[in-house]
Amino acid sequence: MPVYLKNICLNAANDSLLIQPLAQQLALSGVNTDNTALCAKLSIIEDTLERRTLSQFPNGQVAEYELIYSVAYDI
């Protein structure tokens, strides 16, 4: 039988792209994200978004990008 976390303390740098959407999704799933004494601690150490050109139109304008989102975290 799976064990579900009901309390998670979130911690991240101020410029994290992930923390707000993550907190919203956890709240929608019924997880309490208030910082309480008894909670699993999830720290977003670093998150980065990079893009790489995949193809171009004949006039040199970019047609496609590859988006690369990386997250380093600690639980």
- Its sign, for the CA torsion 66, 15, 43, 39, is negative
Amino acid 39: pLDDT: 86
Largest CA distance in the chain: 59
Cα separation values, 44 from 1, 60, 75, Å: 28, 37, 9
Instruction: Give the Cβ contact number of residue 73 at 10 Å.
Output: 14
Closest CA to 68 of 51, 54, 55, 53: 51
pTM: 0.68
Express each pLDDT in 30-62 by its tens digit.
Answer: 888 887 768 888 999 999 999 999 999 999 999
